[in-house]
Homo-oligomer: A and B are copies of this chain.
């Protein structure tokens, strides 16, 4: 795998400039973290250290898995046993575990196009051959699956397609599950930001619809607490539980104990739920500020997609072709704002890129309302400057 990784051109962002407003997707605001509750929980946990510090269950701390089982039942209507739950070091470790354990070099993997790059990379590092399924306003176009044939695995973001933001309707969900059954394929359901549904209710997960035991559900605390905590989880089909636990033990034994214990406390006490309610309001205020600023500064020149949920949206520039994305990103940077073209989220070589308009992913979870306003004003100035040059 070393050779494959060395040969991969992995995205790595240039360092931020001072005063720059960065619409990168991923970071959260430090001020949104529930510091007081977290310190309290950590201190309680550290003071109750057990007499014997030993290696733990590779699936994670039992109290956290129990609390998550309840939480997933309440918030996502999911029914699963504690044994199906595995705590991971962020959802990336879940993707990597799936790639390692389910894919042999040369195996085919269905991915959304455009889609999440770090998932694509994890599969490619394992030697997978990616099969791109196009995405429209209703998410993965599952009707394409039959023509693409068999695959070992499909990776989907059905609750909030990354990056375009669609919700996968029930018909497509059933079509995907039927394809998986025919192909004897696994499905990874990445439910990365279901806590943030502003104008819509969260719907049932694929995992809940799965009667064959083929769906691997992946969730994360990186979007509600901090990406620096490295805490996520998977709900595994029973057939995979033992192998995943054995593999995890060989990979890194288990996740750090005290952070898991502290998180279990937040879940048990209800302070996690209160925190999510609070942060959802904060994120919605950012989302409104962003939509509002886009309307005021860019108006008819842009179209906004996927703003009903999550921590990012996509803005399309009506008069710019996809090929102009790098130029606008450069111009934006010269105006002190950083935006991220959609281009790299499309699979290289997939058809249709030529006809596409320019689009950008705007993440807002780490920005103040003022920064959002200033950032979009700068983006509008950058667009005007670019158009003048053309």
Using a CB–CB cutoff of 8 Å, the interface residues on chain A facing chain B are 1-2, 5-6, 8, 10, 24, 26-31, 33, 35, 38-39, 42-43, 46-47, 49-56, 88-90, 92-93, 96, 100-102, 118, 121-122, 125, 226-231, 242-243, 246-247, 249-259, 366
Contacts and interface: CB of A to CB of B under 8 A. Distances in A.
Return the 5 tightest CB-CB contacts between A and B, nearest first: A2-B101, A228-B257, A27-B54, A93-B252, A89-B252
Contacts of A38: 46
A5 B245 CA distance: 10
Total copies of the chain: 2
Contact of A252 (B35, B42, B92, B125): B92
A251 to B, nearest CB: 5
A263 to B, nearest CB: 11
Contacts of A55: 26-27, 227-228
A30 B2 contact: no
Given A26-B55, A88-B252, A251-B251, 18 more contacts: A2-B102, A2-B243, A5-B243, A27-B52, A27-B54, A28-B53, A30-B49, A35-B46, A43-B43, A53-B366, A89-B253, A89-B255, A92-B250, A93-B251, A96-B252, A122-B250, A125-B247, A230-B256
Nearest to A121: B250
A257 to B, nearest CB: 4
Contacts of A31: 51
Contacts of A93: 251-252
Nearest to A42: B42
Contacts of A89: 89, 252-253, 255-256
B30 A51 contact: yes
Contacts of A259: 256, 259
A31 B51 CA distance: 6
A90 B60 CA distance: 15
Given A1-B101, A30-B52, A122-B250, A39 B35 contact: no
B228 A125 contact: no
Given A101-B2, A250-B5, A250-B122, A39 B46 contact: yes
A254 B229 CA distance: 10
A256 B229 contact: yes
